[in-house]
Structure 1
Amino acid sequence: MERKVKYDYAFKLECVELVLKKHYTDGYVSKLKQIPRWNIRKWVSFYKTYGEIGLLPRMNQSYSSEFKLKVVTAIEKESLSLLRASVRFNIPDISIVLKWKKDFANFGIKGLEPKQKGRPISMSDKRKKSKPNKPLTREEELLKENERLRCENELLKKLQALIQARRNPKP
């Protein structure tokens, strides 16, 4: 399954060429193409560093906690901007780097470790416990059957009331 891409490769290349070959400013191209200025800056930076490959869409990647730590420490030591760090380490979006930076600031090295994906399993334990292992006594069986018959009786009464209401609607 392919990831949906907002701007295709040809569009990105066209914008980059307007900036680099025709010497338009990123602000002018952003107004011309009606896209945010930072997108053009990012594309130009990736193009300058990695060539045309830098503009290709990338599938979701998972990064090791060591790599994340390397990026965060480089930002701190060298005072890199988020854009510079994402270009230098070939990370597709600055929001990823920003999240790592916040996680490291809040939780330390534990915040950079991979997190469990998906929804947590919570209902399975409750369902398993509901079945008793020992057999029911005769009295318990009769009480259960009595309760089941009461519920069935109530259901039939409500059904009959609905049928009557449909046959004789009030004006």
Structure 2
Amino acid sequence: MNCPKKLDTIWGIFMGRKFKYSYDFKVRCVEDVLESNRSVNSVAQENNFEKTSLRRWISFYKKHGKEGLLPRKNQKYSIDFKQHVLQTIESKSLSLRDACVEFNIPNMCVIIQWQKNCKGQGILGLKEKPKGRPKSMNFKRAKKKTSKPLTR
């Protein structure tokens, strides 16, 4: 189905899909704002996405360069790193957005989850939990009753 870009965006929102943007697209949009002196609003409207995403990309780009725009998926963080992030947020009164930029964490929800877990369970709440469904049954084969041969 060939839909115009605007209709594609509306259909995607309606269907509940998340849109992913390529690394090259992010770099081009950020450089449009920073080097071509275009406004965040105009670049976002021209490319049919939210200006808050572009602002976040610009923050990551300023702090970490082009590497800050690379896609990161399912990254695992150590307990020490998580604890350091949470302590820095408290001591420096950082917002979640600023903490994400500072520590190169792609999403604020990650930090929110760490805060919830730490508040409820302490340091043990920051420990990595196993993913997926637990095994529901432990199968043990029935042992033979005797090792003697069968007779008639």
How far apart are the structure 1 equivalents of 2:80 and 2:30? 33
Q: TM-score if structure 2 supplies the norm length?
A: 0.74
1:36 — aligned with what? 50
- Structure ranking higher in helix proportion: 1
1:13 deviates by 0.9
1:65 — aligned with what? 79
The runs of 5 or more residues in structure 1 that have no matched partner are 136-171
1:119 — aligned with what? 133
How far apart are the structure 2 equivalents of 1:87 and 1:71? 11
Based on CA coordinates, which of the two structures has the bigger radius of gyration? 1
**CA 1:98–1:26: 2 relative to 1, 3 Å:** farther
Alignment partner for residue 140 of structure 2, among 90, 112, 128? Answer: 128
1:87 deviates by 1.2
2:103 is the alignment partner of 1:89: yes
Q: TM-score if structure 1 supplies the norm length?
A: 0.66
2:65 — aligned with what? 51
Residues 43-93 of structure 1: per-residue CA shift (max 9 Å, x gap): 101110111121122343211111101101111121111121111111122
* Cα RMSD (Å): 2.1
Alignment identity in percent?
45
The runs of 5 or more residues in structure 2 that have no matched partner are 1-18, 147-152
**CA 1:37–1:105: 2 relative to 1, 3 Å:** farther
How far apart are the structure 2 equivalents of 1:18 and 1:88? 23
How far apart are the structure 2 equivalents of 1:48 and 1:61? 22
How far apart are the structure 1 equivalents of 2:88 and 2:41? 29
